[in-house]
Amino acid sequence: MNANYPSVDQSDRTVPINLRQSGRTPVEMLIYTRIRKSPYWELSHEAGCWRASVYNRMYHPRGYIRPEDGGAMAEYESLVHDVTMWNVAVERQIQVLGPDAEDFVNYVITRDATKIPPMRARYVILCNEAGGILNDPVLLRVAENEFWFSISDSDILWWLQGVNVGRRFDVEINEIDVAPVQIQGPKSIDLMADLVGPAARDIPSYGLLSSAVGGCEVIVSQTGFTGEKGYEIYLRDATAYAEKMWNAVLEAGKPYNLRVIAPAHHRRIAAGILSWGQDMDNETLPFQVNLSYQVPRKKEAPYIGKEALEAARDKINAGDPPFTHTLVGLKLGGKPIDDYAPDFWLISAIEGGEPVGYVTSPWFSPELGTNIAMGYVPISLSTLGTELWVHLPDEYADFAGTPVKADVVEMPFRPSVNPNQREILKKKGLDAAI
């Protein structure tokens, strides 16, 4: 077999995930016009951004503090002790506007859009006809007939427009000039109260507030990528007002030691928050990644993927799941993983055994004092407490060439201050039912 051919069983996939353990790629990222720069791109560079990735065909800042000065772990300290601002303009905003907006949105998401009141948001998924997850955005309902999809990393705009070819629904579907930043950390509530007034303190989880920051029109949501109480500021007419709004936040943040940082993946992993394209993709069923609560039993209205998802649920309940692997949480040994993994590290069932699974999102959790990760393992190895072995690169392994012990554990790895629906159901004892 060639080196790209995966040794791990992926017979349930059409396109296997490349599990080649090739290490970091020593190339310079090309900056050119095929990839967009967000309204905050130059501002991020001024704030110290030294590396970036590409997300939604847009440059995405992924590091401000250099490794020799502490890197992502130093950025983490600002997040957990003070307050941080993240350039997340890559969360492109897709507007659905018109008399049939609710009906259209209800047709493309698995959850019930009719239960989302104006000025509230929800975490949702969109699936293809086979039940695969196409995107997992935060959905904002900013008015009775207006929704914004704050999208993860896939071209969902074109898919949404394609769904409505022939004008089945009376709506307009467009990307709009709205760019978000995230305000995250324990001092975020005080900073937001300074920026938009005391109403910020009363925004409920996934609630929205129409306001202004630095004289610029914004929508504020109590959402984020950390599981903590935090906010996102969605700037309208962002191309014109990015500098004005950004600088207003920087100025207001001085008393709180505000730092501009990259998205904190060590925190989102601890909260069990998935990253599309990394922990799931269009060939992943919601049932594989702890998102069964996104597939309601009582939604009578048709939606894309409903037939396939209901059939998959029946097969799972009959003991014949239509997939080989499922996503689990792992606590693992080794030296602290302090940066993004450049590969999907392999997992074996026994110390010297052949790989049977792979890690998708690993990092060291300072608060838990151990490496944590999400990863795919065969269903038979997904029971809590199962012992596994992870093949870390030598820089993180206890001994070069030797896998480290791992245990399957519950996700999220720690309770969230701002729990998602899955955590809420778990507390009620309702999360296990598929």
Residues that constitute the known binding site for substrate: 232
Residue 359 tokens, joined: 């890690």
In a 13 Å sphere around the CA of 72, the CA atoms on its Cβ side amount to 20
Q: CB under 8 Å to 368, separation ≥6 — which residues?
A: 270, 331, 413, 414
Burial state string for 175-210 with b = 16 or more CB within 10 A and e = fewer than 16: eeebbbbbbbbbbbbbbbebbbeeebeebebbebbe
In a 13 Å sphere around the CA of 91, the CA atoms on its Cβ side amount to 25
The answer to whether 359 and 375 have CB atoms below 8 angstroms apart is: yes
In a 13 Å sphere around the CA of 65, the CA atoms on its Cβ side amount to 19
Q: Where is the binding site, in residues?
A: 232
| Cα gap 64→326, rounded to integer Å | 34
Nearest to 410 by CA among 374, 384, 376, 386: 384
Ranges assigned E (strand) in 366-416: 370-378, 387-390, 404-409
| Cα gap 35→136, rounded to integer Å | 22
Reading phi first (left if > 0) and then psi (alpha if -120 to 50, else beta), residue 375 is in beta
Under DSSP, is residue 106 helix (H, G, I), strand (E, B) or coil? helix
Residue 334 tokens, joined: 């080794």
